[in-house]
Amino acid sequence: MQWKLKPVSNPQTVNKLSKALQVNTTLANLLVQRGIETYDEAKDFFRPNLANLHNPFAMKDMDLAVQRIERAINNGENILIYGDYDVDGTTSVSLVSSYLKTLYSNVATYIPDRYKEGYGISFKGIDFAEDNDFTLIIALDCGIKALDKVAYATKKGIDFIICDHHRPGNEIPKAVAVLDPKRTDCEYPYKELCGCGIGFKLIQALASNQNQTINDLVEYLDLVAIAIGADIVPITGENRILAYFGLQVINQSPRNGIKAMIHQVKKKELTITDLVFIIAPRINAAGRIKHGNYAVELLTELDFETAVDFAGSIEQYNIDRKQLDKSITIEALQQIETNKEENNYTSVVYDENWHKGVIGIVASRLIETFYRPTLVFTKSGDELAASARSVKGFDVYNALEQCVEFIEQFGGHKYAAGLTLKEENYADFKAKFEEVVKNTISEESRTPEISIDTEISLSEITPKFYRIIKQLAPFGPQNMKPVFMATGLRDNGFGKVVGEDKTHLKLNIIEGVNQKTYNAIGFNLGNKLPLIQQKNTFKIAFCIDENHWNGYTSLQFVLKDIQKD
The alpha-helical segments, DSSP class H, found in 22-122 are 25-33, 39-46, 62-75, 87-100
Is residue 144 helix, strand or coil?
coil
Per DSSP bridges, beta strands 504-511 and 514-522 are: antiparallel
**What residues contact residue 387 under an 8 Å CB cut-off, 6+ apart?**
359, 360, 362, 363, 375, 376, 416, 417, 418
Short-list 398, 439, 513, 283, CA closest to 388? 398
pLDDT of residue 534: 83
pLDDT of residue 114: 77
Q: Decide: 508 and 519 in contact? Cβ < 8 Å.
A: yes
Give residue 66's identity as a one-letter amino acid code: V
Short-list 339, 344, 336, 369, CA closest to 437? 344
Residue 286 CA to residue 318 CA, distance in Å, equals: 8
pLDDT of residue 513: 75
Cα–Cα distances (Å) from 506 to 60, 452, 501, 540, 554, in that order, read 54, 21, 14, 13, 15
Residue 331 CA to residue 357 CA, distance in Å, equals: 16
pLDDT of residue 284: 85
Is residue 168 helix, strand or coil?
coil
pLDDT per position in the chain (565 positions), as tens?
889 999 989 999 999 999 999 999 999 999 999 999 999 999 999 999 999 999 999 999 999 999 999 999 999 999 999 998 889 999 999 999 999 999 999 999 999 987 788 778 999 999 999 999 999 999 999 999 999 999 999 999 999 999 999 989 899 999 999 999 999 999 999 999 999 999 999 999 999 999 999 999 999 999 999 999 998 889 999 999 999 999 999 999 999 999 999 887 777 889 999 998 889 988 888 777 778 888 899 999 999 999 998 888 888 888 888 899 899 999 999 999 999 999 999 999 999 999 888 898 899 999 999 999 999 999 988 999 999 999 999 999 999 999 999 999 898 778 889 999 999 999 999 999 999 999 999 998 999 999 999 999 999 998 889 999 999 999 998 999 999 999 999 998 888 999 888 899 999 999 877 778 899 999 989 999 999 988 789 999 999 998 888 778 889 999 999 999 8
Residue 142 CA to residue 162 CA, distance in Å, equals: 7
DSSP 246: H
pLDDT of residue 118: 77
Q: How far apart are the first and last CA of the chain?
A: 15
Residue 82 CA to residue 400 CA, distance in Å, equals: 27
Q: How far is CA 434 from the centre of its chain?
A: 27
